[in-house]
Amino acid sequence: MPTLKEVEFYLTGLWLLFKQDPAGFSYLDLTDRGALRSFWSIVWSLPAILISFAWWRLLFLQGLPEGTGTGAVFFFRLALVEGANWLFPVILLGVLCWMIGIGEKFASMVVVANWLALPVSYAYGVLVLLMMFLPALAGLVAFLWLLLMVTLIAALFRIIRMIVGDQLLMVSTIIMVLLVPSMIIAELLERYLGVYPG
């Protein structure tokens, strides 16, 4: 598992790439091994993920009769949804890279996507805490969530373009593959597994 110092190193690399500084690549392990190790970002994101699970449970219980509870199965199902959110886009990205002949770039994009998800997870966790403890700020939180999504798209666009070059259609397609399917599969799985708030 990468140490905190390594994670800081990787995030520094992402920040440099966001600023269009190619030196950022030297901070990241863009090999196949680095791509596999980047999935440790899931473990580093666990505190933020658990906060979102707690909030989702509160939303879920609001649609049930008073006194109803949820057991460990509920959180296991949420974990399945979360796992699908991390893995499904990567699988689709692999298929896309193979189809358009840029398989050698796949590991680099996995590394970027996984480590970029770490700060996004914590930013989302902060928004969830605001919703839980200051529900009157729902409008502000919605705006901040939109701002977070725009920032994520901008960061992906700038960094992916540095990896694959100035092919805007390809860059846009890659970003859509990384973001859109996870939103769709999340809702479908939540409904199928019975953890979608009623």
Distance in angstroms between the alpha carbons of the first and the last residue of the chain: 38
Q: How far apart are CA 167 and CA 114, in angstroms?
A: 22
Residue 134 contacts by C-beta under 8 Å, 6 or more apart in sequence?
none
Q: What pTM was computed for the model?
A: 0.91
Question: What is the percent of the chain with per-residue pLDDT over 70, rounded to a whole number?
Answer: 96
Domain extent for 30: 4-192
In a domain, 25, yes or no: yes
In a domain, 198, yes or no: no
The string of pLDDT tens digits covering residues 62-119 is 876 776 667 789 899 999 999 999 999 999 999 999 999 999 999 999 999 999 999 9
In a domain, 30, yes or no: yes
Indicate the range of 30-39, 49-58, 67-76, 158-167 predicted with least confidence: 67-76
Number of domains in the chain: 1
In a domain, 102, yes or no: yes
What is the DSSP code (8-state) at residue 195?
-
Residue 32 contacts by C-beta under 8 Å, 6 or more apart in sequence?
107
For residue 135, give both structure tokens: 């529900």
Better-scored residue on pLDDT, 111 or 131 = 111
The mean pLDDT of 182-198, rounded to a whole number, is 86
In a domain, 197, yes or no: no
In a domain, 38, yes or no: yes
In a domain, 107, yes or no: yes
128 C-beta neighbours (distance < 10 Å), count:
20
